[in-house]
A = this chain, B = another copy of it.
Amino acid sequence: MGNLKIRVYNLIRDDDENGLAANILDGFIISLVVLNIISIMIDTSALPTFLREFFFITEMISVIVFTLEYVLRLWTCTYINPNEKPLKVRIRYMFSFMATVDLLSILPFYLPFLIPSTLVIFRSLRLMRILRLFKLNRYIDSLKIIALVFKRKKHQLVSCLFILAILILVSSVLIYDVERSAQPDKFKDVASGMWVIITTITTVGYGDVYPVTVPGRVLCAITLILGAASLAIPSGIISAGFVEISNETNKSNKGKNACDKKICPHCGKQIFRNIE
């Protein structure tokens, strides 16, 4: 029994990279996730019956597999901390981030049996399954680096958001005052002006509303230039964050291994040189 638990644990734990069976299981679950996403995307479209049935069966299999996986994880999670009380470990595991994702991805299927009305938000919850893709070990490190950059530069990025917010707010009020008389139906309130400014500053420009007066156009042009600058700041901050981490990683690498990675300036390939 304990032996079976270990084998199941090794099969389903997130950071498994070495076993063939685990890799096959990984591939199977990734396929299910992708099929699920496609299913969500098109389940509102007019589809031929056989496709509908195919996606319905996929959904059934997904729910069964994911439920089974969730139960097995809950069962085997006691393996890491054998000295603690199983119930305590299991409850702690249930409230971990990844277990919550797993639960949220199967819950929308079971809820209609428990609660009569099916809320629209349930469809979004099924999308949670995509988060499983992040469980693949190779991407967890990269995500940690990205998260670290954002954590470090948090205050600078929030400051940029503040600058952007002020720019949007001031421009919205001004564009409303300037364009109101020319387009009373499109600039009903400051909130409408804000919609124009947001679609302008992010350079979307749907074309549903746009300035027609000369001062409105001048204002939009100035907002655009200032907005482009405001959006270049976070880009620069994030770049600096990645450069910082890459420098730090290189430095700590140097101390560790005696092999100094270098790039040949001619061919761009790495030169491996052993420092004796």
Residues of A within 8 A of B (CB): 37, 40-46, 120, 123-124, 127, 130-131, 133-134, 138-139, 141-149, 155-156, 158-163, 165-166, 169-170, 172-174, 176-177, 188-191, 194-195, 198-200, 202-208, 210, 212, 214, 217, 221, 224-225, 228-229, 231-253, 261-269, 271
Nearest Cβ on chain B to A253's Cβ, whole angstroms: 6
User: Pick the contact of A188 from B44, B242, B243 — CB < 8 Å?
Assistant: B44
Which chain B residue has the least Cβ–Cβ distance from A119?
B177
User: Pick the contact of A143 from B124, B159, B221 — CB < 8 Å?
Assistant: B159
Q: List the number of copies, as a whole number.
A: 4
B189 in contact with A45 (CB, 8 Å) = yes
CB neighbours (8 Å) of A247 from chain B are: 247, 250
Interface contacts beyond A232-B235, A235-B239, A240-B245: sample of 10 additional A-B pairs, CB < 8 Å, sorted by A: A40-B190, A42-B191, A130-B162, A133-B162, A139-B162, A145-B156, A203-B204, A229-B234, A237-B242, A240-B243
B156 in contact with A190 (CB, 8 Å) = no
Q: How far is the CA of A142 from the CA of B225 in the complex (A)?
A: 20
Please name 13 pairs of A and B residues whose Cβ atoms are closer than 8 Å in the assembled complex, sorted by A: A37-B169, A41-B172, A41-B194, A44-B188, A44-B189, A138-B155, A141-B155, A203-B204, A207-B207, A233-B238, A243-B246, A244-B250, A248-B263
B252 in contact with A271 (CB, 8 Å) = yes
User: Pick the contact of A265 from B159, B160, B249 — CB < 8 Å?
Assistant: B249
* Contacts known (A120-B177, A127-B166); A217 close to B195, Cβ less than 8 A: yes
User: Pick the contact of A267 from B123, B144, B228 — CB < 8 Å?
Assistant: B144
Q: How far is the CA of A189 from the CA of B160 in the complex (A)?
A: 36
Nearest Cβ on chain B to A174's Cβ, whole angstroms: 6
A268 in contact with B159 (CB, 8 Å) = no
Nearest Cβ on chain B to A77's Cβ, whole angstroms: 21
A188 in contact with B248 (CB, 8 Å) = no
Q: How far is the CA of A199 from the CA of B244 in the complex (A)?
A: 33
B262 in contact with A252 (CB, 8 Å) = yes
